[in-house]
Structure 1
Amino acid sequence: MAIRPDYPLTTERLRLRPFTRGDVDAVHSYRSRPDVARYLFDAPLSREDCALAVQQRTTQLHLDQEGDRIILAVESQADGVLLGEISLIWRSSEARQGEVGWIFHPAYQGKGFASEAARRLIHLAFENGEFHRLYARCDAGNVASWRLMERLGMRREAHFREHAVFKGEWDEEFYYAILLREWQARQAG
């Protein structure tokens, strides 16, 4: 299984495209925020850390083998503003599974942009039938994220209570998933 899309991927309002070096300030505008970092593995990022992250993302564009990831900038087609990022990670070749994720600037949350971008990325993952299952995960306190998963048709499969120490506190995490046949049924309906 290989996924090598032609970029950009588009939706009605969005363009999902490779990151460029010119995106550092826009990424820093949300990745430096404590309210965004609260649910991420990273602490708020400095501009230098953002520059390194963007540099890495410029090459994360294809899935050729297990462990590869696609991480794309999500920008508005209307004005070219970078709203956030979305990712697809090939987690298991044997089980044909992947993980989707997203990070959006708080100024652009609650407007349907993350749903629109995630639907497009899920479509990319499932369109050739190679993936059997996609999952997403989030901190149980990240209500906006797990509600997005539900809007995407994913079902909650697990609630891990106090399973790890995360940023000095016991972590609770939700796992959601959707199968290829479930996605296909939603598209047909």
Structure 2
Amino acid sequence: MEPLASIVTQRLELRLLTQVDAAALRGFRGHADAVRYLSHQPLAAGQTDRLLNDLLSRAERSTAEWFHLGWAVVLRSTGAVIGDGRTWNTTEPPLPGGLPGRCASLGYVLHPDYHGNGYGREAAGALVRWLFTECGTHTIYAGVYEPNTASRRLLEGLGFAPDHYFTASQDTHGKALASWRYRLDRTAWTLAGND
């Protein structure tokens, strides 16, 4: 895959993760409040480093058609990495994934010190735009635990709609929480004036 340009928004820069981001990732991937509604418990430093290495390996193997990318969410005013985002359509690039062609998934996390400022919406919105305009994606999915009302509002504000409900007993990540899969189709996104 050719090197990807950073995505620049009003307040943020989203760029592919690098080893330089390890300390920042440890700061929020190991923070109980940051990962409360993620698919893992707080990670120790070594676990975070393994996650980062895995994401870097997947990004390196990604192609324009089949990708799994981790993005550093950088606050432009300070240069601080305040979170990370993920965009993927396969877990093992360059092999096709379990999603139908032209579908992708979106994930994001911010350090709790930066919650409530609209940074999550700004970052997720930029990744949605990138998936639709640069990757030719037709449908984007995002999973969210039911109690995570802030993330649900964020997704709904971007035009996502609930697509499938999973009971707490169906949770495979050990959180024992009900969750929703949200969906956004490019047609709906374009009709909302986003193209």
> Do they superpose with TM above 0.5?
yes
Which residue in the other structure is 2:12 paired with?
Answer: 14
Residue 125 (structure 2) aligned to one of 119, 122, 131? 119
1:179 and 2:195 correspond: no
Measure, in 2, the Cα distance between the counterparts of 1:39 and 1:136: 13
Q: More displaced, 125-134 or 138-147?
A: 125-134
Q: Is the 8 A contact 2:40 2:173 kept in 1?
A: no
Q: Is the 8 A contact 2:13 2:75 kept in 1?
A: yes
TM-superposed deviation, 1:56: 2.8
Q: Is the 8 A contact 1:15 1:76 kept in 2?
A: yes
Measure, in 2, the Cα distance between the counterparts of 1:165 and 1:139: 9
- Matched positions, count: 186
Q: Is the 8 A contact 2:139 2:183 kept in 1?
A: yes
| Amino acid in the other structure paired with 1:72 | W
Which residue in the other structure is 1:108 paired with?
Answer: 114
| Unaligned ranges ≥5, structure 1 | none
Measure, in 2, the Cα distance between the counterparts of 1:64 and 1:149: 25
| Amino acid in the other structure paired with 1:116 | E
Which residue in the other structure is 2:31 paired with?
Answer: 33
Measure, in 1, the Cα distance between the counterparts of 2:99 and 2:180: 23
Measure, in 2, the Cα distance between the counterparts of 1:99 and 1:127: 15
Which residue in the other structure is 2:76 paired with?
Answer: 77
Report the TM-score when normalising by structure 1.
0.87
| Amino acid in the other structure paired with 1:71 | G
What is the CA RMSD across the aligned residues, in angstroms? 2.3
| Unaligned ranges ≥5, structure 2 | 91-97
TM-superposed deviation, 1:93: 6.3
Measure, in 2, the Cα distance between the counterparts of 1:101 and 1:93: 15
TM-superposed deviation, 1:58: 3.1
TM-superposed deviation, 1:167: 6.1
